[in-house]
Amino acid sequence: MRAMVVVAERRESVPSGERSLKRAGARVLLVEDDPGLARLIRRKLRQHRFTLEMATSVDEATRAFDRQHADLIMIDLDLADGSGWQVIGQIRSRAPVPIIALSSRRAERDTVAALELGADDYLSKPIGLDELQARIRVALRHVAQPESGAEPIVRVANLELDLEQRRIVREGRSVHFTPTEYELLKFFATHPDRFLSDRKLIHAVWGPAWQGGEHILHVYIARLRRKVEDEPAAPRYLLTESGLGYRFASEPDC
């Protein structure tokens, strides 16, 4: 029997959660030991009414996060007292907060490594402040709640997405997803059995201004397969369509 698909009709407006974050001033934790760059970022974010907390070391970062959980974290991967990679691993194991990694490293392998560890985005230095602001807006959209009144449940294949609670259940068991993983899976689940190009998926999740390579999408596809497929190397739901992109099958072939 074909799996039931319930899709909410959504108005094109700013999600209520994003509006509330903007009104209250989203809490941002910046972990950066370059004082000049930290000052520039602080000035930019305060112009947009963000509440900013600063840390310059691994120890300060973990204590700051434990003291008051931030809505978003930006982390320099190369800190003087240790590795920003360590901070990402510690925080990701405890909370699904969006994480943007900052680094002077430009090799694709470093981007992939940060994303695999749990970062939601990666920016190479020198950083454009307008681009950073855009990336922050995208990341906060990924944790914003939907408009009240929207149909809260999407069911497709072996998954159930609760859009109000941002909760995903697979075969009766709740599965943890990072904010970006959730947004990508939600887009697939609300567009089942359709061919979706790399460009369309990137625009839907990271926005049309995204300047990163397509490798970020491929990393996230691999992460989703590990969470929704019985055999990630032989996927039945999240399929690669040669020359077209990807397709989420609501009724996979046996």
User: In this structure, what are the phi and psi dihedrals at residue 209, rounded to the nearest 5 degrees?
Assistant: -85, 0
Which CATH topology does 16-141 take?
Answer: Rossmann fold (3.40.50)
Whether pTM > 0.85 for this model: the answer is no
Pairing verdict, β 173-175 and 167-170: antiparallel
- Three-state secondary structure of the chain: CCCCCCCCCCCCCCCHHHHHHHHHCCEEEEECCCHHHHHHHHHHHHHCCCEEEEECCHHHHHHHHHHCCCCEEEEECEECCEEHHHHHHHHHCCCCCCEEEEECCCCHHHHHHHHHHCCCEEEECCCCHHHHHHHHHHHHHCCCCCCCCCCCEEEECCEEEECCCCEEEECCEEECCCHHHHHHHHHHHCCCCCCECHHHHHHHHHCCCCCCCCHHHHHHHHHHHHHHCCCCCCCCCEEEECCCEEEECCCCCC
pLDDT at 233: 92
Contact 8, 154 (CB under 8 A): yes
pLDDT at 253: 61
pLDDT at 164: 72
Within the chain, all domains assigned CATH 1.10.10.10 are found at 153-248
The CA–CA distances, whole Å, from 113 to 12, 96, 116, 201 equal 35, 18, 5, 21
List the Cα angle 159/163/166 in 5-degree steps. 85
pLDDT at 2: 39
Q: List per-block mean pLDDT (blocks of 10 residues) for the chain, which spans 254 residues.
A: 37 39 70 92 89 89 86 89 81 83 83 82 88 86 58 77 81 86 88 89 82 81 91 92 87 65
Contact 178, 187 (CB under 8 A): no
Within the chain, all domains assigned CATH 3.40.50.2300 are found at 16-141
Fill in the amino acid letter for 113: A
pLDDT at 140: 84
pLDDT at 19: 42
User: What is the token pair recorded at 56?
Assistant: 């310059």
Residue from 5, 40, 12, 7 nearest 147 by CA: 12
pLDDT at 179: 85
Which CATH topology does 153-248 take?
Answer: Arc Repressor Mutant, subunit A (1.10.10)
